[in-house]
Chain A
């Protein structure tokens, strides 16, 4: 196949990627958009075998088979609640692949590499490694294999700044010295920096970091496209880098987080006093029976699902409760905050998976005016998205974030594991409101108890 035809097909694949991103930004065309993207990637992968001499063909096909055997079941079988961390993992391995590609090309070129190529190689190795190790840490956080709270240790700032300086220093070293060992040292330092960069990020900010690392990986792919002289990789990588950056900003805005604060949290974070601003004010906690009675006499109930629901995997149980209430003649709706769950839009996916009818899922702007006619609002494992502090106290970290105004409902029930504040770490006044009742425990267990209490009545 001639270079011209090859590049032309590459351009076609690049255009498919643009259509894919465009399609993915509208609900009606999203699925088709994803398929177009897969088509583009498929074409690009097949075509490369018909261009130039291919050595190690069977090795290559074998490696693709291994990747498929690992990737397909992971994507097919993952629980929808665990999907954010799978996306993080996929992103990480992509970054790792880009870094490896750059390293191999560097080894192959040896002394013939131009300075420009070495600079792009260094960029790919650094950012790819940061993306790889950073994504692994976000995976561990989301999978709860490690704490979701910010990890800050004394002198952390100095260590992070030192690692960054060492990384930049060895980047320069690689460009000047051109050797294999400097490059491997650089890769090691970058991996370390990725870990240190993500450790101080708190649970609520993790999706933003995943999105950012995704954009990073895009840029490394673009840079490796320059090294490999491939327009397709430059186009695809830049598209992902640019759209990923915008997406990261949009996501930060939707969550009421400052992108700057998230990114440089590593440098500004101070060890947190976890021992405690536990306020010693009375709260009204109730039993499953109390909750059942309240629900039994309600005419309209709004369910506000949150992070805790996802953690407890209680989406099927909550649907069971809703169905039971509906059978008793109660009007039920779900108030879904745009950032409920672990990522923006995640809650819609989870509830849809539990076969909650779409007409019961009400978006924030539509549900807020109805709270005043609501008898009971059940907040399940959500906190920050209903915290009135976002409207009333300027200066608190979530100030300005739109919230679900459950305070307007006649009764509020909070299903919580403990009095611990939400991820933003802000006390919620609503918990002390006289019309609030708290039911402590795992969301799924609590809901099951409420359901059996309701059935008994």
Chain B
């Protein structure tokens, strides 16, 4: 009973947040697609691996989503699943940026020698 009341409260809170209108979502999505296409369209193959790894780290920002769901988790199951999500997302984000940096460290000075 307690749980269901809390749940209703959190739903009310959720509705108070300014929900994105469908057209806003579609606009953000479309523009982001174009930007995503544009920024990587002319990358040299030498950088394919670091770029993939960097992009991989960026989607680790799902950590923010994991924190949000955990912060309003009410049942044990929700809490456990969202904590697992936080652990996984943290590994993705922190590990991803670190390993990309290690890769790029190896390239240091390469282009200086080339050009």
Q: When A52-B71, A93-B92, A238-B33 are in contact, do A21 and B87 touch as well, CB less than 8 Å?
A: no
Known interface pairs A38-B97, A56-B70; 16 further A-B residue pairs with C-beta atoms within 8 A, sorted by A's residue number: A3-B17, A56-B73, A56-B79, A64-B90, A83-B53, A94-B60, A100-B85, A101-B65, A108-B72, A221-B62, A234-B29, A235-B28, A236-B61, A240-B55, A343-B52, A352-B107
Interface size of A in residues (CB-CB distance below 8 Å): 117
Whether A34 contacts B54 by the Cβ 8 Å rule is: yes
Partner of B20 from A38, A221, A231, A361 at Cβ < 8 Å: A231
Q: In whole Å, how far is B51's beta carbon from the nearest beta carbon of chain A?
A: 5
Which of A245-253, A303-311, A405-413 is the contact stretch? A245-253
Taking the complex as formed, is A404 at the interface, i.e. its CB lies under 8 A from any CB of chain B? Answer: no
Q: When A31-B101, A226-B20, A233-B65 are in contact, do A94 and B47 touch as well, CB less than 8 Å?
A: no
Whether B39 contacts A93 by the Cβ 8 Å rule is: no
Q: When A53-B71, A246-B40 are in contact, do A91 and B64 touch as well, CB less than 8 Å?
A: no
Taking the complex as formed, is A87 at the interface, i.e. its CB lies under 8 A from any CB of chain B? Answer: yes
Some 22 contacts from A to B, beta carbons below 8 A apart, are A13-B61, A17-B58, A17-B61, A21-B51, A30-B107, A34-B101, A37-B57, A37-B58, A48-B68, A60-B83, A74-B99, A83-B49, A104-B82, A104-B85, A105-B69, A224-B62, A243-B40, A250-B43, A343-B52, A346-B49, A348-B110, A349-B49
Q: In whole Å, how far is A167's beta carbon from the nearest beta carbon of chain B?
A: 20
Interface size of B in residues (CB-CB distance below 8 Å): 92
Q: When A27-B110, A108-B73 are in contact, do A72 and B33 touch as well, CB less than 8 Å?
A: no
Q: Main SS of chain A's interface residues?
A: helix
Whether A22 contacts B88 by the Cβ 8 Å rule is: no
Note all chain A residues with C-beta closer than 8 A to B33.
238, 241-242
Spell out B's residues near A (CB within 8 Å): 7, 10-11, 13-14, 17-20, 22, 25, 28-29, 32-37, 39-75, 77-79, 81-111, 113-114
Note all chain A residues with C-beta closer than 8 A to B28.
231, 234-235, 238
Whether B50 contacts A344 by the Cβ 8 Å rule is: no
Which of A210-218, A273-281, A376-384 is the contact stretch? A210-218
Note all chain B residues with C-beta closer than 8 A to A97.
62-63, 66, 85-86, 88-89, 92
Spell out A's residues near B (CB within 8 Å): 3, 13, 17-18, 20-22, 24-28, 30-31, 33-35, 37-38, 40-41, 44-45, 48-49, 52-57, 59-60, 62-64, 66-68, 70-72, 74-76, 78, 80, 83-84, 86-87, 90-91, 93-94, 96-98, 100-101, 103-105, 107-110, 112, 116, 207, 210-211, 214, 217-218, 220-222, 224-226, 228-247, 250-251, 254, 338-339, 343-346, 348-349, 352-353, 358-359, 361
